[in-house]
Amino acid sequence: MPTLPRLASSLPVLSYVLLAAYMVIFAVRTHNDTTIAVVTASVLMFACCWASASHLLGLRPALQFVLIAVSLGWFAEQMGSSRGWFFGEYTYTDVLGARLGDVPLVIPLMWFSLTYAGYVICNLIVWQSPVDGTRGLGNAVVLSFVAAMIVTAFDLGADPYLVYTLKAWIMTKPDGAWFGETVQGFFGWVFVSFVIIIGFRMSVRRLALQPSSPFLRRHALVPLAIYASGMVFQMILGNPVEIRSIAPFAMGIPLLCALAGFQRWQTTAEAVA
């Protein structure tokens, strides 16, 4: 029979498992195939990233990252959809499934997945390691901004597709400067991503983060694979079609640099062993 501390440590995971099951069942019972596919993919992406983070960062830092990203991501989206903060004025439709307030529950989960991917990709580019190297406020600020830009590169193609193909939300101003999207939205993505990532970095600044096993390549490759899958999706199905040419450069350049850093990290780890 599990001890009380062990049971308590499992509760956050259990809560998210139950939440994920609820969202998938809700989508199956009340929405169309598009909603089911988007909700299922988002939940699986979230679960994969949390598992990866638990191995690369440790259980407690991974949970801190999840809580920071999910709570701040929900707050930013709630303020955006209700008051027009950060991203401009917009209203979510029913395409993305069940909501908390005005925000579909999958959206905060996606904020964690994407900011975690941006964090790992940035670290692999700069440090040739999936976790931070040299500490310090200056490094944290600069690298959090770089990671936020990497996250926003994904949004360059994702936003127009979600608005005009999936109709996941409706923009109040439909004639913005980026394929109908407002440029303000991208400033909002950079800002919110930056706040999430710098918030996480500050929360673990006194911890010596170290991957639990540098030889388990799959854990560091998970966020890269998720980012790459987003790029490939935009290259094949991006709408408007111009997005299909933008994605391999906007997302491909940081991805290739991160893969080079990953190879260097793996080689160094094997040499040390």
pLDDT tens digits for range 106-131: 999 999 999 999 999 999 999 999 98
pLDDT of residue 216: 65
pLDDT of residue 98: 87
**Calpha distance 11→7 (Å, rounded):** 6
What whole-number distance in Å separates Cα of residue 159 and Cα of residue 216? 33
Q: What is the pLDDT of residue 8?
A: 41
Gap between the Cα atoms of 111 and 200, Å rounded: 13
Tell me, what's the pLDDT at 36?
77
Determine the pLDDT at residue 272.
58
**Measured distance CA(273)–CA(270) in Å, rounded:** 5
Low-confidence ranges of the chain (pLDDT < 50): 1-5, 7-12, 29-30
∠ Cα 78 79 84 (to 5°): 120
What are the tens digits of pLDDT across the range 243-271?
Answer: 999 999 999 999 999 999 999 987 776 66
- Structural domain boundaries, residue 36: 4-272
Q: How many domains does the chain have?
A: 1
- 250 to 91, 236, 262: CA distances (angstroms): 27, 15, 19
Contact between residue 198 and residue 140 where contact means Cβ atoms under 8 Å apart? yes
Overall size of the chain counted in residues: 273
Q: What is the pTM of this model?
A: 0.86
Sheet strands (E) in 184-259: none
Determine whether 125 is exposed, middle or buried from the number of CB atoms within 10 Å of its CB (0-12, 13-18, 19+). Answer: buried
Nearest alpha-carbon partner for 130 in 111, 144, 116, 140: 116
pLDDT of residue 141: 96
The one-letter amino acid code at 1 reads: M
Query: For residue 58, which phi and psi values (nearest 5 degrees)?
Result: 110, 160
pLDDT for the residue 97: 86
The 3-class secondary structure across 126-176, one letter per residue, is: HHCCCCCCCCCHHHHHHHHHHHHHHHHHHHHHHHHHHHHCCCCEEECCCCE
Torsion of CA 15, 21, 22, 28, to 10 degrees: 170
Contact criterion met (CB below 8 Å) for 70 and 111: yes
Structure confidence at residue 75 (pLDDT): 97
Query: What does the alpha-carbon distance between residue 218 and residue 231 come to, in Å, rounded to a whole number?
Result: 19
Tokens 């793996």 appear where?
A: 266
